[in-house]
Amino acid sequence: MASKGPTIALDAMGGDAAPEIVVCGAAIARERFPDTRFLIFGGGDRVRSLIAENKALAAQAEYRDASTVISADAKASHALRTGRDSSMWRALDAVKQGEATAAVSAGNTGALMAISKFVLRMPAGVDRPAMASIMPTATGETVMLDLGANLECDADNLFQFAILGALFAHATLAMDRPTVGLLNVGAEELKGSDTIKAAAQMLRAREGQLPLRFAGFIEGDDIIGGKVDVVVTDGFSGNVALKTAEGAARLFGQFLRSTFSSSPRARMGYLLARPALKRLREHLDPRKYNGAVFLGLNGIAVKSHGGSDAIGFANAVGVAIDMARHGFLENVRAEFERLQTLGLENKTASL
Amino acid sequence: MASKGPTIALDAMGGDAAPEIVVCGAAIARERFPDTRFLIFGGGDRVRSLIAENKALAAQAEYRDASTVISADAKASHALRTGRDSSMWRALDAVKQGEATAAVSAGNTGALMAISKFVLRMPAGVDRPAMASIMPTATGETVMLDLGANLECDADNLFQFAILGALFAHATLAMDRPTVGLLNVGAEELKGSDTIKAAAQMLRAREGQLPLRFAGFIEGDDIIGGKVDVVVTDGFSGNVALKTAEGAARLFGQFLRSTFSSSPRARMGYLLARPALKRLREHLDPRKYNGAVFLGLNGIAVKSHGGSDAIGFANAVGVAIDMARHGFLENVRAEFERLQTLGLENKTASL
């Protein structure tokens, strides 16, 4: 138990197949990152016995009983009022208390967002946290934010998201001064709302002082096209874009399956192409991209997809470990402190 | 020339490969819809000789010289100030004057939107026109609007778009009382901005008096999933969703090509599956879905994709003909008049 690796707090009760996929996911993550410890918050004997079944995990995990569970359909405001003793809240509180490096939950997204904001708070200079995720693209991988934490954003929010997204890409994808694009309805400077134009102006004017290269406006097809390393947008269109891309991927798989089973000849073609198609499927495996992250908090909180399996959950844990290992929080604090020193804290006002 | 079919006004100068694809597209459309006449507005001898080369088209087309062309990168405001003698403007004016049933252009989208709004105006009860398009889905086809004409929308706009989209689906996809969904970040009633919640309330309260069935909120993946017949959203997220879906489709095509050429075995699989894959490609052929339509005007104006070929352009003409044939404009006028009689014109206020 006295390793120097990170300690990850887990909400064992969140997700459609909890607690099984959480404990199983922790076991997989432990194999990948052998120096990791786990603080597992759960609701009873089932979790305890699942942990005990895996001796290697049990040796690096501590179980703590939480008396309540936040349900998948609870309103965020309700969870915030009543969830103090829940497995989710206690996992986040372990981060706040310094017992854990990061918290991972596959539970209620709105509740996780609200509670992590309430418990962990934002560092100076960050007005609102954002939800970010990594997506596969034509050329590699792209970070997109916000994905739904802030349905409406002002120019300051978008400016801050650009910095947070760039630091996240740096920590998890080893990108140095990543390119950042603002999602818009056209690439021309004249397009878009006043908010987005103001954000572009701020980023263009201060690019030299920021840990990113500003690539200007991009359009919906540029996200998956991999035109930039980080896509910044408001939570409404970010959520729409992410889910549209996921829906397109699902539809494509469905079309492909029905195409390959449409005739004996097509089925034979499938059998021949199967190894190559398997590599394609692996490249697009949604479990690889599991784990939405709340950026802009004084702590690491990762949301695993509610319908994820153990492998997906282990990947979400991996994202948390990457962020911790590469000093994401320290970089955010340092960057926003530096901006304040530079007098850039009142951003819109100072233009 | 004395046929009873529709007359379509064409802007011969708009689009990357104009005027060739426009005249060629008209010739293809004429074969499909033999009773159609064309009023072709162009800039000079090239267009005239292209028309003359196709005798069947020439017999049903009239050429008119336009002295200017609106460039692809002109600002809408500039086009509106200076574009009166352009091929685009004159095509729209022919609709306004009753000489043509509809106008089709592959030119500058912003200019086409601004000029068609200025020339054609809106019928009583419609505050703003919207841009709509048909998309392929898992189960068939879906109409989506707005796609970028209105970056920010209030609840009244969204309410009106729902009616316009339903009538468009009725005219072009023969859908009776189509289902309409409001794009949101979650399907639960509590989610989303106040604007979208107010629009949902209006649609729910008045569904019985509208030519549609209100299906509530939908999410990004439901668009391509084909959950509803008509997707209503603001122009910013509609544009992002459409382009994200297009980008995803392109990426899959690219992945598939590289997968099938990755080994001799995969190439052989491709050869066997080719007929089935060809059907898939046909189902998703973007040319089939060419033609964004401005809904909510006193006239039919269709935008063909600027990069379209002649087949795509002919499909855009087909959309215009479908709208005319199935009385889209008459239905819109009647529907909004009826709503005003019912006292529903001050929509948000009357709730």
Kindly report, residue by residue over A79-119, the tens digit of the pLDDT.
999 999 999 999 999 999 999 999 999 999 999 999 999 99
Distance CA B258, CA B225 (A): 26
- A84 CB neighbour count, 10 Å cutoff: 15
Please determine, for residue A351, whether its predicted confidence score (pLDDT) is greater than 60: no
- The pLDDT confidence band at residue A1, using thresholds 50, 70 and 90, is very low
CATH code 3.40.718.10 region(s) in chain B: 1-124+296-326, 127-286
Q: Look at A268 and B272 and tell me if their CB atoms are within 8 Å.
A: yes
- Provide, as residue numbers in chain A, all residues whose Cβ is less than 8 Å from the Cβ of B243: 219-221
Among the listed residues B147, B244, B153, the one whose alpha carbon sits nearest the alpha carbon of residue B202: B153
Calculate how close chain A gets to B99, using CA atoms only, in Å. Answer: 34
pLDDT in tens, A28-71: 999 999 999 999 999 889 999 999 999 999 999 999 999 999 99
CATH number of the domain located at residue range(s) B127-286 in this protein: 3.40.718.10
User: How many Cβ pairs within 8 Å bridge chains A and B?
Assistant: 194
The pLDDT assigned to B271 comes to 84
Residue A185 has its nearest CB partner, among B148, B219, B259, at B148
- The pLDDT confidence band at residue A303, using thresholds 50, 70 and 90, is very high
The pLDDT assigned to A350 comes to 46
Distance CA B143, CA B29 (A): 22
Closest residue, chain A, to B137 (C-alpha): A251
Distance CA A308, CA A293 (A): 15
Calculate how close chain B gets to A58, using CA atoms only, in Å. Answer: 38
Class of the CATH-defined domain A127-294 = alpha beta
What is the torsional sign of CA B218, B327, B113, B347? negative
Residue A255 has its nearest CB partner, among B151, B183, B280, at B280
- The pLDDT confidence band at residue A126, using thresholds 50, 70 and 90, is very high
Give mean pLDDT, residues A188-206. 89
Please determine, for residue A237, whether its predicted confidence score (pLDDT) is greater than 90: yes
Calculate how close chain A gets to B238, using CA atoms only, in Å. Answer: 9
Which residues share a beta bridge with B293?
B132, B302
The pLDDT assigned to B344 comes to 61
Among the listed residues B245, B208, B205, B210, the one whose alpha carbon sits nearest the alpha carbon of residue B224: B245
Q: Look at A270 and B268 and tell me if their CB atoms are within 8 Å.
A: no
Closest residue, chain B, to A278 (C-alpha): B259
Calculate how close chain B gets to A115, using CA atoms only, in Å. Answer: 18
Which DSSP state fits B150? -
Q: Which CATH number is correct for A1-121+296-326, 3.40.50.720, 3.50.50.60, 3.40.50.2300, 3.40.718.10? A: 3.40.718.10
- In a mutational test of the A interface, the residue from B272, B282, B305 whose CB has the highest number of chain A CBs within 10 Å is B272
Check: complex ipTM more than 0.90: no
Class of the CATH-defined domain B1-124+296-326 = alpha beta
The pLDDT assigned to A259 comes to 81
Closest residue, chain B, to A273 (C-alpha): B266
CB of B60 closer than 8 Å to CB of B36 = yes
- Better-scored residue on pLDDT, A129 or B257: A129
- In a mutational test of the A interface, the residue from B244, B252, B278, B281 whose CB has the highest number of chain A CBs within 10 Å is B244
Q: Look at A273 and B260 and tell me if their CB atoms are within 8 Å.
A: yes
Prediction pTM value = 0.90
Residue A223 has its nearest CB partner, among B247, B249, B277, at B247
CB of B315 closer than 8 Å to CB of B287 = yes
Calculate how close chain B gets to A149, using CA atoms only, in Å. Answer: 10
Distance CA A237, CA A158 (A): 13
CATH code 3.40.718.10 region(s) in chain A: 1-121+296-326, 127-294
Beta strands B141-145 and B230-232, pairing class: parallel
CB of B223 closer than 8 Å to CB of A244 = yes
Q: Look at A259 and B277 and tell me if their CB atoms are within 8 Å.
A: yes
The per-residue pLDDT string of chain B (351 residues; one tens digit each, 9 = 90 and over) reads 444 789 999 999 999 999 999 999 999 999 999 999 999 999 889 999 999 999 999 999 999 999 999 999 999 999 999 999 999 999 999 999 999 999 999 999 999 999 999 999 999 999 999 999 999 888 889 999 999 899 999 999 999 999 999 999 999 999 999 999 999 997 776 678 899 999 999 999 999 999 999 999 999 999 999 999 999 999 999 999 999 998 888 888 887 888 888 888 888 888 888 887 787 777 777 777 777 999 999 999 999 988 889 999 999 999 999 999 999 999 999 999 999 888 765 455 444
A174: which 2 tokens? 């080893």
Beta strands B61-65 and B37-42, pairing class: parallel
- Provide, as residue numbers in chain A, all residues whose Cβ is less than 8 Å from the Cβ of B276: 259-260, 262-263, 265-266, 269
Residue B269 has its nearest CB partner, among A73, A244, A273, at A273
The pLDDT assigned to B230 comes to 98
- Provide, as residue numbers in chain B, all residues whose Cβ is less than 8 Å from the Cβ of A266: 272-273, 275-277
DSSP element (H, E) containing A249: helix A235-260
Distance CA B336, CA B254 (A): 45
- Provide, as residue numbers in chain A, all residues whose Cβ is less than 8 Å from the Cβ of B278: none
